[in-house]
Chain A
Amino acid sequence: MSSPISREDVAHIASLARLSVTEKELDLFTGQLADILGHAADVESLDAHDVAPTYHPYPMTNVLRADVVRPSLDREEVLSQAPATESGQFRVPPVLGEA
Chain B
Amino acid sequence: MTETALSLAAAVRNGDRTARSVVEEHLTAIEAREGDINAFNLVMTDDALAQADAVDAQVAAGEDPGPLAGVPLALKDNMCTRGVATTASSKILEGWEPPYNATVVDRLAAAGAITMGKTNLDEFAMGSSTENSAFGVTHNPLNLDVVPGGSSGGSAAAVAAGFASLGIGSDTGGSIRQPASFCGVVGVKPTYGAVSRYGLIAFASSLDQIGPLANNVADAAALYEAIAGHDHMDSTSIPLPALPVSSELDHGVEGMRIGVISELDGSGIEGIAVDVQARTRAAVDALTAAGAIVEQVSVPSVVYGLSAYYLIAPAEASSNLSRYDGVRYGLREDGANNEAMNIASRTAGFGDEVKRRIMLGTYALSAGYYDAYYGKAQKVRTLIIDDFAAAYEKFDVLVTPTAPTTAFEIGARTADPMTMYVNDICTIPSNLAGHPAMSVPYGVGDDGLPIGVQVLAPLLGEVAMFRVGAALERSLL
Contacts and interface: CB of A to CB of B under 8 A. Distances in A.
Interface in B26-56: none
Nearest to B460: A58
B383 A90 contact: no
Contact of B206 (A57, A90, A99): A57
Nearest to B336: A99
B307 A40 contact: yes
Interface in A10-64: 10, 13-14, 16-21, 29, 32-33, 35-37, 39-44, 46, 48, 51-58, 60, 63
Contact of A78 (B99, B304, B311, B355): B99
A88 interface: no
A58 B359 contact: no
Contacts of B434: 57-58
Nearest to B306: A39
B346 to A, nearest CB: 5
Contacts of B358: 17, 19
Given A18-B339, A40-B307, A73-B100, A53 B375 contact: yes
Contacts of B13: none
Given A77-B99, A93-B340, A51 B362 contact: no
A73 B236 contact: no
B429 to A, nearest CB: 11
Given A32-B356, A33-B363, A92-B338, A18 B310 contact: no
B192 interface: yes
A92 to B, nearest CB: 5
A76 to B, nearest CB: 9
A84 B345 CA distance: 14
Contact of A58 (B335, B350, B459): B459
Contacts of A29: 355-356, 359
Given A18-B342, A19-B355, A36-B418, A83 B99 contact: no
B336 A48 contact: no
B177 interface: no
B383 A92 contact: no
Contacts, number: 183
Nearest to B321: A17
Interface size class of A (residues with CB under 8 A): 35 or more
Interface in B357-414: 358-360, 362-363, 366, 372-373, 375-383, 385
B107 interface: no
A98 interface: yes
A20 B347 contact: yes
A13 B362 CA distance: 6
Given A84-B332, A93-B337, A99-B335, A43 B377 contact: yes
Given A19-B355, A29-B359, A98-B337, A46 B343 contact: no
B381 A39 contact: no
B105 to A, nearest CB: 15
B216 interface: no
Given A17-B362, A97-B337, 14 more contacts: A13-B363, A19-B343, A19-B359, A39-B306, A41-B307, A44-B373, A48-B380, A54-B432, A57-B192, A57-B381, A58-B238, A60-B236, A83-B332, A96-B337
Interface of A: 5, 9-10, 13-14, 16-21, 29, 32-33, 35-37, 39-44, 46, 48, 51-58, 60, 63, 65, 73-74, 77-78, 80-84, 90, 92-99
Q: Which 6 A-B pairs have the closest CB atoms?
A: A57-B434, A53-B378, A83-B332, A54-B381, A48-B379, A63-B235
